[in-house]
Amino acid sequence: MAKVAEIIHQVEDHDAEVRTGLDHALTQAAKFFAWAIFVAFLISVVEVVSRYVFNSPTFWAHETTSFLIAAVFLIGGPVALARDKHIRVRMFYDAVGPKRKRVLDIVNSLIALVFFGGLAFASWIMVSKSWFTPTGAFHLEGTGTSWNPPTPALLKLLVLICVVVMFVQTLLHLIAAIRRPADPAAPVETGAE
């Protein structure tokens, strides 16, 4: 029975593949960002209590929770990428030898770079529209409520940041894959073909 507990623990902490320094930094940063979920949880409870017990719903809880969770969703992308946790269909990938696997890694990184590059371009347009009016004046897009926090503008910027981070992560993975020896027994220095 203890063995299963170990397996579970291992799944969560050890078999993640942290490949580069940036990935490591993101894994560390995740420990800070994750508290946003805790804050969102506390705010939800505060809203329920003040509404149900004191009959005075807050004007800020709903939008703040939405913002925090949306930010968590976005940041989760690079963090999961850092630990190689994104879901893949590995049937074919696991069946090939190290040499082909390296080629696949390179091709996949290149494809992913196209994806993140395209997203970065599109996010850039989205961000500029939410930070500036059509006449070019600086104005943060808000939620449009009476409170009107500028969370849409901030989240749109966060989309751009996360996409750019994932672009750089992938670029580093690509470099690592190119440098990796095609023959896993060979030392790294002589690895490049």
Partner 1 sequence: ADYEWTFQTSETAGEPGFVNKQKWADDVATLSGGRIAIEILPIGSVVPHTDTLDAVGAGILQGHLTDPSYFSGKDPAFAMMGNLVGAWSDPFELLGFMQSGGGNELYSELVEPYGVKFIGAAATEPEAFVSRLPIRTVEDLKGVKLRAPEGMVYEIFSKAGAAPVSLPGSEIFSALDKGVVDAADNTVFATNQALGMNDIANFPLYPGFHSLPMIDVSMNKQIWDGLPEDLQEILLTSVKQFSFNHIYSVRQLDASAVEQAKANPEIEIINWSGDERAKFRRIAQQEWQNWAPKTAMTQRYYDAVTAYLKGRNLL
Partner 2 sequence: MDLSALGIEYGSYLLVAAIFLLLLTGQPLAWVTGLVALVFTFGWFGPMALPLVTSRIFGFITEYSLVAIPMFILMAALLDRSGIAKSLFNGMRILAGRLPGGVAVQTLIVAILMAAMSGVIGGEIVLLGILALPQMLRLGYDRNLSIGVVCAGGSLGTMMPPSIVLIIFGLVANVSIADLFVAAITPALLLLAFYVAYVLFMCWRNPELGPPMSEEEAAQESLASALRSLAAPLFIVFVVLGSIYGGVASITEAAAMGVSAVMIISLFRRELTVKLIQDSLVHTLETCGMIIWIGIAAAVLVGVYNLMGGNRFVAQSILAIDAPPVVIIMVMMVILLVLGMFLDWIGIALLTLPIFVPIVIQLGYDPIWFGILFAVNMQVSYLTPPFGPAAFYLKSVAPREITLKHIYVALLPFIALQLVVLGIILFFPPIATWAI
Binding site for partner 1 (CB under 8 A): 51, 55-57, 59, 62-63, 129, 133-135, 139, 141-146, 148, 152
54 touches partner 2 (CB under 8 A): no
Nearest to 131 by CA among 163, 164, 159: 159
Enumerate the β-bridge partners of residue 132.
138
Please choose which of partner 1, partner 2, none residue 133 contacts, taking the beta carbon within 5 to 8 angstroms, the exact cut-off set by kind.
Answer: partner 1
86 touches partner 2 (CB under 8 A): yes
Please choose which of partner 2, partner 1, none residue 141 contacts, taking the beta carbon within 5 to 8 angstroms, the exact cut-off set by kind.
Answer: partner 1
Exposure letters 66-104 (e unless 16+ CB within 10 A, then b): ebbebbbebbebbbbbbbeeeeeeeeeeeeeeeeebbee
Distances (CA, A) of 175 to 19, 76, 114, 122, 165: 11, 23, 15, 25, 15
25 touches partner 2 (CB under 8 A): no
Exposure letters 33-48 (e unless 16+ CB within 10 A, then b): beebeeebeebeeebe
Which parts of 27-46 interact with partner 2 (CB under 8 A)?
30-31, 33-35, 37-38, 40-41, 44-45
Question: Where do contacts with partner 2 occur on this chain (CB under 8 A)?
Answer: 1, 4, 7-8, 11-12, 15, 30-31, 33-35, 37-38, 40-41, 44-45, 47-48, 52, 62, 65-66, 69-70, 72-81, 83, 85-94, 104, 107-108, 111-112, 114-115, 118-119, 121-123, 125-126, 129, 152, 155-156, 159
